[in-house]
Amino acid sequence: MRVSTNQLQTGCILTKDILSLTNKPIVPKKTVLTDDHIDVIKAFLVKDIYVDSMLVNGEPFRPTEVLDEEEITETVEVESTTGQYLKTVQEYKKLFSNWQAGAQIDIAKVRNIIIPLFERMIDYPKDILQLHHYATKDDYLSHHSVVVGLLSGLIGKKLNYDKGECIQLMLAGLLSDCGMSKIDPRILSKKSSLTSSEYSEVKNHPLHSYRMLEKIPVLKESVKLAVFQHHERVDGSGYMLGVTGEKLHPFGKIVAVADIFNAMISERPYSGKQAPFKVLEQIIQDSFGKFDLKTVQALTSIVANLTIGTNVRLSSGQIGEVVFVETKSPTRPMVKLTQTSEFIQLDKNREIYIEEIL
């Protein structure tokens, strides 16, 4: 919907780029607006912008005036996906608060909040590429847990696990950080870098997570192992135990890759988000030591193949459409530029990379 900038509030989600005179975005679409964003928009004398009808907290956005009422119909599909995801995040956040207060994990409730969204992602897998945009520093942990669950399940599907196993994988990803609820809340909400002792406390969260799950009979042992092992690395460089590849459960290897990928492409309390394809290239390099190669290949295939026909923004600032993915270089596809219809093969232009999936 198109609304006046005077009606904006923190948590609004842009659905169209706000462009400067050079057609370079002042604020790109999918951005979750903060007070600073709103100040910048007003400083550029922008009179109106396009936003989603849903706020990032899962509540509807109700401005006093919508400039183009018909614009609402254009975002129905986006609202359906975005709204379902944001509501799931908020439901997880409520469960997490209950765990902080000492409540036991109710797996039936956990399944009820995540399975409908996962089934939607199976039907509309491209939607997974947009979810990291909605993560905020304040709610990072809740967004991260939900996306890691969805990604873990989708990677399992790519690796030909059956549906039941994919749901178990999804639960493992979703609950991998449930033990963060046992960490001092002052550490979780800290705005500055952690001290070494604080970081040591945070590194205990896989053990806390495992202990919260170990006596739940309906959860398979594979889920509990994945939760405990999701910060382990194939070369033994991870934690909690520093075990090597042959001792790691396949589920643990999958959640580990989903976890690091989403963490690096999301806005986190201590660092900004990075470009998905650039992160994939780094993970691919690490797959020769830190990560399971088949899992990395599955994630790369998911992301690369889902972008065919999708518009992307390059690091050069140019907009284009992904038209072909080369098997040997899946993170560097062929892109047709929107403005000139020129084709750029990123594999032969190493200085340019895909900065954002639009």
Mean pLDDT of 164-186: 97
Q: Are residues 184 and 217 in the same domain?
A: yes
Q: Are residues 300 and 318 in the same domain?
A: no
Helix (H) or strand (E) holding 331: strand 329-337
Q: Are residues 235 and 314 in the same domain?
A: no
Q: What per-residue string of b and e applies to 320-340 under the rule 16 or more CB within 10 Å gives b?
A: bbbeebeeeebbbbbbeeeee
Summarize pLDDT for 55-75 with one digit per residue, the tens: 888 888 888 767 765 444 444
Q: Are residues 170 and 39 in the same domain?
A: no
Q: Are residues 103 and 182 in the same domain?
A: yes
pLDDT of amino acid 253: 97
Domain count, the chain: 3
For residue 76, pLDDT beyond 50: no
pLDDT of amino acid 22: 63
User: What is each CA distance from 339 to 240, 279, 318, 352, in whole angstroms?
Assistant: 50, 27, 8, 17
What is the C-alpha separation between 315 and 208, in angstroms, rounded? Answer: 40
Residue 161 confidence class, pLDDT cut points 50, 70, 90: very high
pLDDT of amino acid 68: 62
Q: Are residues 344 and 204 in the same domain?
A: no
Q: Are residues 351 and 251 in the same domain?
A: no
Domain range for residue 107? Answer: 76-305
Asked if 129 contacts 147 with a C-beta cutoff of 8 angstroms, the reply is: no
Helix, strand, coil share of the chain (percent; to 5): 50, 15, 35
The one-letter amino acid code at 356 reads: E
Domain limit, last residue, from 28, 59, 74 = 74
Q: Are residues 194 and 312 in the same domain?
A: no
Instruction: State pTM to two decimals.
Output: 0.88
Domain with residue 27: its CATH number is: 3.90.105
Q: Are residues 138 and 277 in the same domain?
A: yes
Q: Are residues 28 and 155 in the same domain?
A: no
Asked if 62 contacts 12 with a C-beta cutoff of 8 angstroms, the reply is: no
Q: Are residues 88 and 64 in the same domain?
A: no
Q: Are residues 167 and 275 in the same domain?
A: yes
Distance of CA 242 to the CA centre of its chain: 26
